[in-house]
Amino acid sequence: MTFCTTCALPSLTQFASPGLVEAIVEGTFDRAADPAWETSGASTVEDYAFWCGHLCGMTCLRMALGPDAPSLFDLRDGALKYGAYTVDAEGDIHGLIYAPFAEYAREELGLDATVHRHLTVDEIAGLLDTGRTVMASVHYGIRRPERPAPGRGGHLVLVTARNGDRFHFHNPSGISRETRCTELPLTVFETFFAGRGVSLGPGHGAGSGPGHGAGPRA
């Protein structure tokens, strides 16, 4: 497990082999061939291949919990029990759905999880200043921030700190070490940001409002 030198939290990917993330997300490597799939906690390679592209939120949660967190698929199983993910009749995965996810994080993991259906970058900064981390809904294109943002939302990253007018965050589908633990100016981050998320803090907290997640894209 690799730890971030800025915020000391783990740097984790939603795919079992960090060195294969770029090839997997670009579609040039079959995730079912990931040689490290068993480390995810999945029961079978088929289960891993079906779900790993949808578990950015669980990876953010796992990083927020620290080095003693359950495995990625143990967290997935818990979230499923609370309805934070659903699978429809066609086999399509829907989620992360924020309200049941926050309930799961509070009731089973002891976190103070609060849903923010409407959130600004300035409000994220304020939450960070109180010691919280923020699972923020961004476009997965944030892994290539040198390119214009192709949209907003569809992926979750864990914002852990700020340095002046820059956010430090961990990206579960970052394609390199530099994009997994990285910083961006708030003005650039905002172009990818969908204006919603979930903030996390230690201890049990108050109830959250209804909300829906960022979606399944890696």
Q: What is the mean pLDDT of residues 45-73?
A: 97
**Could you report the per-residue pLDDT of 66-107, keeping only the tens digit for each?**
999 999 999 999 999 999 999 999 999 999 999 999 999 999
> Is-contact 186 166, C-beta < 8 A?
yes
15, 134, 114: which is closest to 64 by C-alpha? Answer: 134
First to last CA, the chain: 21
Task: Note the pTM of the prediction, 2 decimals.
Answer: 0.92
Distance CA 195, CA 175 (A): 24
Taking only the tens place, the pLDDT of each residue in 147-157 is 999 999 999 99
Do the beta carbons of residue 68 and residue 85 sit within 8 Å? no
- Average pLDDT of 4-14? 95
- Model pLDDT, residue 205: 40
Separation CA 32–CA 39 (nearest Å): 13
Query: Is the predicted pLDDT of residue 207 greater than 80, yes or no?
Result: no
Strand-pairing partners, residue 74, are none
* CA proximity to 159, closest of 13, 60, 58, 18: 60
Mean pLDDT score, 164-185:
96
Q: Give the pLDDT of residue 202.
A: 85
pLDDT confidence of residue 210: 40
Cα–Cα distances (Å) from 177 to 19, 62, 65, in that order, read: 9, 18, 20
Query: How far from 39 is each of 45, 121, 123, 141, 216, CA to CA, in Å?
Result: 11, 35, 36, 26, 21
Q: How far apart are CA 80 and CA 101, in angstroms?
A: 9
Amino acid at 151: G
Under the banding of pLDDT at 50, 70 and 90, the label for residue 188 is very high
Where residue 1 falls among pLDDT bands split at 50, 70, 90?
confident
Q: Which of 13, 11, 60 is nearest to 39 (CA)?
A: 13
The band of 203, judged by pLDDT with boundaries at 50, 70 and 90, is low
In the predicted model, is pLDDT for residue 177 greater than 80? yes
Predicted pLDDT at 50: 97
